[in-house]
Chain A
């Protein structure tokens, strides 16, 4: 079932609801007299733009975002490389699977955020602890999806490759790996949102910069405006990351998307 609404209606309705909700928020915040001082949307957006050029703590919001992003990128890339290698080899070589799958399955159910205290004990409160956590958060979906991709390879394609003269290792690199790519990409999406969230938690628990810090510092001084502006930044960057990933996927998987 696919609706075809027409662009103008989509924009009108979308903008309309946003406007209604924002004005409700504005009126509620202006008329409320609670002690917490809930900010108006106008104040939040004003603060957000203010933070673009003015420092909060030691950085502007750009600087904080870059810190957060750098942490995510390092942990994520490490998880990508190791997770994909482990997942694909587990899916194709029975010895690797027999050796690693039980231990992986043993550690997998532990939520990434539950590693926070242990990670701090192991690595201290510096950067390494954050890389480690983000790595854990992204590693599991990468491994799981690469594994599933390698296991679900069409047996007939393997037969066809063998009959065309491919050796065992050629079958792995030329057939198993590429046919697992769509599955790896869906793992990469999950891994990205996991990593982004875990970064936030890691920064909120212990850090001195980054968007997570921005929010938790707002809590420390009871500055709701800063907290909500920080959340806005989180939302915007998260949105851009997810869509960038989707774009990359569409680019890489031309052979899979067409005809749908």
Chain B
């Protein structure tokens, strides 16, 4: 477990968090007693089968959902609601359709009333970083799915968050675009290191991007196993080590408890 050598300090800490929804047919538990930490500048992937609990878990980290039991800490402070220090990249992108790419990306700076010059520089920097140079004046409807999600990533980055929370950001994209976006995100992250928590149900995506993978079980989700991924970046999807890990995790996932 100590192969990677240096681990940053803890950014997010989950302590025994449980989430259940009550409906007319009784209580339905989706997350059961999860305890884990997210370290500084780490790319953590929450990986698990099906539709159960992963997005909810991410929203709880963001403060958009309340914990039924347990607590989430961010830099030691309990999380009580959404905050700019934890930016979310949504699966549905959630771009503001009436704003151009430029206005979407600069939104967080504008609402904070930053200096005009700072806004302009920062916005341009992140637009360039995600590869959308030249599309500043386009509206989201004029962009393809992959480009829209680039805007989402740039927007989240530009708000200068402490932690980036990504909820299956490439889930709606076609396979080809998805590969491209994974590659881009990897590069962006190498350039601009941030603490990222990334939710996915795609094993290749998880292995391609992660420093560490937390494998969650099916409903109610519990931590099944943790993997530290030390393959050199950029990773090859067909290298023997990659395929070996992929097989191992898939087998582990399909094994009943």
Spell out A's residues near B (CB within 8 Å).
154, 156-157, 159-167, 170, 174-175, 178-179, 181, 254-256, 258-259
Contacts and interface: CB of A to CB of B under 8 A. Distances in A.
Given A159-B94, A178-B98, A181-B98, A255 B159 contact: no
Given A156-B94, A157-B94, A157-B96, A164 B111 contact: yes
A255 B82 contact: no
19 contacts: A156-B94, A159-B88, A160-B94, A163-B62, A163-B83, A163-B86, A163-B159, A164-B87, A164-B107, A164-B155, A164-B159, A165-B159, A174-B107, A174-B111, A175-B96, A179-B96, A254-B139, A255-B139, A258-B139
Contacts of A256: 97-98, 141
Contacts of B87: 163-164
B98 A156 contact: no
A254 B155 CA distance: 21
B84 A164 contact: yes
Contacts of A175: 96
B142 interface: yes
B169 interface: no
A166 B111 contact: yes
B92 A156 contact: yes
Nearest to A182: B98
Interface string B88-101: 10101010111100
B246 to A, nearest CB: 33
Interface residues of B, number: 25
B64 interface: yes
B233 interface: no
A160 B90 contact: yes
A207 to B, nearest CB: 41
B197 to A, nearest CB: 14
A178 B108 CA distance: 17
Contacts of A167: 111
Interface of B: 62, 64, 82-84, 86-88, 90, 92, 94, 96-99, 107-108, 111-112, 139-142, 155, 159
Contacts of A154: 94
Contact of A159 (B82, B83, B159): B82
A259 B142 contact: yes
A178 B96 CA distance: 9
Which 9 A-B residue pairs are closest in the complex by CB-CB distance?
A165-B84, A164-B108, A255-B139, A259-B141, A160-B94, A178-B98, A163-B82, A166-B111, A156-B94
Contact of A165 (B111, B141, B142): B111
Contacts of B139: 254-255, 258
Given A255-B141, A256-B98, A156 B111 contact: no
B98 A179 contact: yes
Contacts of A162: 82
Contacts of B62: 163
A165 B96 contact: no
Contacts of A179: 96-98
Contacts of B99: 178, 255
A35 B99 CA distance: 64
A239 B68 CA distance: 59
A163 B111 CA distance: 11
Nearest to A156: B94
A175 B64 CA distance: 18
Contact of B108 (A159, A165, A181, A258): A165
B256 to A, nearest CB: 35
A156 B97 CA distance: 12
Contacts of B82: 159, 162-163
B141 A163 contact: no
A154 B93 CA distance: 12
A258 B99 CA distance: 13
Nearest to B83: A163
Contacts of A258: 139, 141-142
A178 B62 CA distance: 26
